[in-house]
Each structure stands twice: as structure tokens, then as C-alpha cells.
Amino acid sequence: MNTEMPRRTVLVVDDAPENIQVLSAILQPSYKVKAATSGERALKIARSDKPPDLILLDIMMPEMDGYEVCKRLKQDPATQNIPVIFVTARDAEQDEADGFAAGAIDFITKPFSPLIVMARVRNHLALIGQRNKLRQLSDELEEYRERVAAELASASASQVVLLPDPGVVEEIAASHRLSIQSKIVPCSELGGDFWGIKDLDEDRFVVLIVDFSGHGINAAINTFRLHTVLNSGVAPDENPAEFLKVINSQLNELLPMGQYATMFFGLIDCAKDTLTYASAGTPSPLILQPDRGAMHIGNGEGLPVGMFDDSEYKNLVVDFPTGSMLLLYSDAVNEGKTKKGDRLGDEPLYELIQEHLIIDPPEQLFDNLIDKFEKIFAHPMADDFSVVSVRRLHE
């Protein structure tokens, strides 16, 4: 296999044939040499299918001097990257200034010194090689960036499918007279948060919210793993504690070491006016009574799912009559960094919600809270942001 690099091509442009002969004799042992005795001929060769790698261009030529030739080369996108070294018998600062202004990269003065000619040509061709390599690497990097961006966009679109179908949400809301609202904003193209809701019968439905450790690609992959487990039907929907226990056992086998998820699973019984729930290390669920301006802080304690294979969970039951609102959120809310540079914290969050609970109409409470979060948190957020509310409407 022949791995020898092809020889570079140098175009020598001079109206004096003897100068072309001298330069050709110096260059030909190391390079391919093309020649032109006029500016027009030089432009034609430069624009051909096999352009030169470098041009040695005489300044003083009839009809079209070297300055004009160089300007035309630099104005043409097809030839603007070919480096030009001016060949001149003059050594004046103004000549050099005019040459650089026209686009030349260097000068060689007559009479020619073979060592200087070879050194200048060799150095500039080496720089060209480095520049072309950088351009190639830049193009490859841009292609890679575009490919990754397209793949992330595709993955992000696929992840959206994991969220409840809007049509299904509307059906559940209509069936049980609910107002269901959600806001999920991943901190990057992909996130590790999602939520779900499922109808059990004419009186009961279940709701869950999940936040995987970390964020980005790894967390997003884990959401697909959990979604597969949820769709397998192995967990008992009617017992939140047992549900989390089974999910924990399944995820413990699927998740890489050190990865886990916090999770809330609740069952709302509209006939009994109760919420039965179990938590696995989530922020405290909030049960709001907008009509009375009251707030009950639930218990989010519990070992995250996927952390240990033998974790146990317990059911908690609270009143959830008509008019009640269940507010679930990821830790990006209670632990989110504000624009002041500090963490919001649980108590300030509860005070903020209590304030809106008193002054906001129930139908505006969720949207007003989201607007408030948008104003107080620093952006972009360092973690995936999720808020879900389920409110029972009055008859």
C-alpha cells in the first residue's frame, strides 16, 4: 500500500521566462511547478479543477500587475484560500504594505536565494497543511455537533411520549371532575423527571411523580427503564406502598450502581374523599384547601426506589374532599437556586404557596405559582423542574 503524500503544486507567475526558469529549478526537486507569464493565465490556472497549493507572484507585470491578480484571487471564493507570496525586485515598505493589503502572506526579493525561496515555500505550505487540518477538524466537529443535536432532539421527542397523553388527561379530568395541570422543564435537552396518571374506576384514579438522580442522558435513559416497568403491570395500583415496593425491586435490578429515583404514588378515592399515598424520598406533597386557605404538608420520607433491594414503604391516608388540590413537585423547586444566589428551602416555599393560597382564585393558583417560580429562580436551572397539580372541582 502506497502511503506517500502527493507532492504539493506551486504556481510561478512572472512575465520574464528566465525568472520562471530560475524558480522552477529551485522548486522542482521538491514540488510540482506550474508556470504562467500573465495575470490572466495565472487566474485561469488558479480556477482550474486542480488549483495550486501556493502561488509565487511577480508584482511588476504588464496589463495586470501582481496586486490586481492577488485582489481578484482573494475576491473569488474558489481561490481566496490559496496563499500568495509576492516576488519583487523592490524592497520598499510601501510595496510590502500594498502587497499585504492585497492579500499576500509574504515577500521574496530578487535576486533569488535558493535557501530563502525553499524555506519560505516550505514554511507556508506547512502552515497551509495545519490550517487545512484545523478546518477539517472543525468541519468534523460541526458535523458531530449537528448529529448529536439531532439525536438529542429525537430522544427528547421520544421522552415526551412518556408523559400522559393530553387526551387521556382530559378524559380522566372529565370523568372525576378534576383540574389537572403540569409543568416539566428539563435543565438540558433530556431530563430525568416525569409524571403519570391512570384511571382505576368511576371513583378512583392514581397519580405519580418521579425524579431520577442526576439529569441529562443517564437520567433520561432511566425514565425509559421505569416506563417499561410501569407498563408491564407488575405493580399493584390499588396499594401505593406495595406499588413502590415492587417498583423498587424491579429498578434495583435495572439501574446502574449509584442511580435511583425519588417517587410519589397516590390513590385518590372521590367516593371516600381520601388520598392514600406512599413516598420514596420526595419533597413533601402538599394537600391544599383553596376554599379555606389551608395547607397540609404531607410526608415525603422514604428510601428512593432502586437504591436498596429490600426497601419497605408505608401508606398514609389524608382527607381529600371536593375542592382539595394535590401539589407535587421535584426538588428543583424547594432546593432551587434563586436569583439572589441562595437556595429557596422548604419553609420559604411553604410561605410562598400559603400566600398565593390566600389571595389567588383556585383556578389561577397553579399558573400564578409557576409564574412566581419563573421570576425567583436563576436560569438556566441546575436540575429538572417539575410541578403537577390535581384539583377536585366542586359540583
Residues 113 and 177 in one domain: no
296 confidence band (pLDDT: 50, 70, 90): very high
Counting the structural domains of the chain, the total is 2
CATH number of the domain enclosing 212: 3.60.40.10
> Tens digit of pLDDT for each residue in 53-68?
999 999 888 889 989 9
Last residue of a domain, one of 80, 103, 136: 136
Residue 294 vs residues 59, 168, 214, 267, 353: alpha-carbon distances, Å: 89, 30, 34, 21, 10
Residue-level pLDDT at 234: 83
Q: Dihedral of CA 380/223/285/299: which sign?
A: negative
287 lies in which domain range? 161-392
Question: Which parts of the chain are beta strand (E)?
Answer: 9-13, 32-36, 54-58, 84-88, 106-109, 178-185, 193-199, 204-212, 261-269, 274-280, 286-289, 294-297, 316-319, 325-329, 385-392
Residue 83 vs residues 16, 59, 105, 250: alpha-carbon distances, Å: 22, 15, 7, 64
For residue 21, the one-letter residue type is: Q
Is the preceding omega at residue 17 within 30 degrees of 0, hence cis?
no
> Tens digit of pLDDT for each residue in 163-211?
899 999 999 999 999 999 999 888 777 778 889 999 999 999 999 999 9
* Domain assignment of residue 2, yes or no: no
Average pLDDT over residues 159-163: 75
Q: How far apart are CA 70 and CA 75, in angstroms?
A: 9
Residues 123 and 182 in one domain: no
Average pLDDT over residues 356-370: 94
Residues 117 and 170 in one domain: no
Q: Is the pLDDT of residue 11 over 90?
A: yes
Q: Which of 6-10, 69-73, 200-204, 298-302 has the lowest mean pLDDT?
A: 6-10
Q: How far apart are CA 160 and CA 155, in angstroms?
A: 9
* Domain assignment of residue 145, yes or no: no
Last residue of a domain, one of 72, 103, 136: 136
Q: Which of 137-146, 152-161, 176-185, 348-357 has the lowest mean pLDDT?
A: 152-161
Residues 82 and 220 in one domain: no
More confident residue, 354 or 381: 354
Residues 246 and 363 in one domain: yes
Q: Is the pLDDT of residue 1 over 50?
A: no
Residue found under cell 488558479: 46
221 confidence band (pLDDT: 50, 70, 90): confident
* Domain assignment of residue 142, yes or no: no
> Is there a contact between 282 and 221 (Cβ–Cβ < 8 Å)?
no
Q: Is the pLDDT of residue 347 over 60?
A: yes
User: DSSP letter string over 120-160?
Assistant: HHHHHHHHHHHHHHHHHHHHHHHHHHHHHHHHHHHHHHHHH
What is the grid cell recorded at 78?
474558489
* Domain assignment of residue 154, yes or no: no
Residues 53 and 186 in one domain: no
Residues 111 and 176 in one domain: no
Average pLDDT over residues 277-304: 95
In the chain, pLDDT over 70 holds for what percent of residues? 96
Residues 102 and 177 in one domain: no
CATH number of the domain enclosing 42: 3.40.50.2300
Residues 264 and 225 in one domain: yes
Residues 200 and 99 in one domain: no
152 confidence band (pLDDT: 50, 70, 90): low
Q: Is the pLDDT of residue 240 over 90?
A: yes
> Tens digit of pLDDT for each residue in 84-143?
999 887 666 777 778 888 888 888 888 888 998 999 899 988 888 888 888 888 888 888
> Tens digit of pLDDT for each residue in 259-275?
899 999 999 999 999 99
Q: Is the pLDDT of residue 155 over 80?
A: no
Residue-level pLDDT at 158: 65
The helices-and-strands tally (H runs, E runs) of the chain is 11, 15
* Domain assignment of residue 4, yes or no: no
Residue 275 vs residues 198, 270, 328: alpha-carbon distances, Å: 14, 9, 13
* Domain assignment of residue 3, yes or no: no
Residues 180 and 113 in one domain: no
* Domain assignment of residue 147, yes or no: no
Residues 324 and 193 in one domain: yes
* Domain assignment of residue 179, yes or no: yes
